[in-house]
Amino acid sequence: MKKIELEIVALSHSITQTHSYAVVLGETNGLRRLPIVIGGFEAQAIAVALEHMQPSRPLTHDLMKNFMNAFNVELQEIIISDLQEGIFYSKLVCFTEHDTVEIDSRTSDALALAVRFGCPIYTYEHILENAGILMEDGGKKQKAEAVGAEDNTGGGREDLSSMSLEELQTLLNDVLEHEDYIRAIAIRDEMNKRK
């Protein structure tokens, strides 16, 4: 399968759900975005590395990087390899002078390590097709498909189940315009239930 390179384009805090964040990945040579819901600690770990902050003590992902460096293990790339029932699955592709090994990882942890190692992030076409958001050239959202997440019903004040598909699509466009990817997930899930 052909790999598609992604980069972190944003970290978004949920207005409607406490301790929920979305890391937004963008195609490096395209217009699609891949929002992924992550926890607060993982969002902090990614933000610390993105901002090149140096905590007084190593965070867990810093410790992991230090451990890997001490034993000459290099993180070559991460691959967001699967999406099942709204959950993303990732692999760390690590190598030493003697071997290359793929290690299963939570996507949030893989991203936190990718930022620290400066390694590329990849996924596959079927994941972007099922979980991506296509952006127009001007930055406006054109299409919203699936966005992998945990169960996020009740993402907004409105009762999504009582809204028509047209109303849901309008609301989805509005929340995407405000980059509230957490609410977008709940709306998307409601739309997918009806298909």
Enclosing domain of residue 168: 3-193
Q: How many domains does the chain divide into?
A: 1
59-75: per-residue pLDDT in tens?
899 999 999 999 999 99
CA–CA separation, 124 vs 43, rounded Å? 23
pLDDT at 140: 43
pLDDT at 148: 36
pLDDT-derived band of residue 79, with 50, 70 and 90 as boundaries?
very high
15-56: per-residue pLDDT in tens?
556 667 889 999 998 889 999 989 888 988 998 898 888 778
Q: Which residue has the higher pLDDT, 103 or 12?
A: 103
pTM, rounded to two decimals: 0.72
Residue with tokens 């309008």: 170
CA–CA separation, 188 vs 169, rounded Å? 9
> Phi, psi at residue 156, to the nearest 5°?
-135, 180
pLDDT-derived band of residue 78, with 50, 70 and 90 as boundaries?
very high
130-187: per-residue pLDDT in tens?
898 887 654 444 333 333 333 333 344 468 889 998 888 888 888 777 766 667 767 8
pLDDT at 174: 83
pLDDT at 143: 34
Give the orientation angle of helix 60-70 with respect to helix 107-117, to 10 degrees. 60
- CATH code at position 174: 3.10.690.10
Q: What is the DSSP letter of 51?
A: T
CA–CA separation, 114 vs 116, rounded Å? 5
**Are 119 and 76 contacting, i.e. CB atoms less than 8 angstroms apart?**
yes
pLDDT at 68: 97
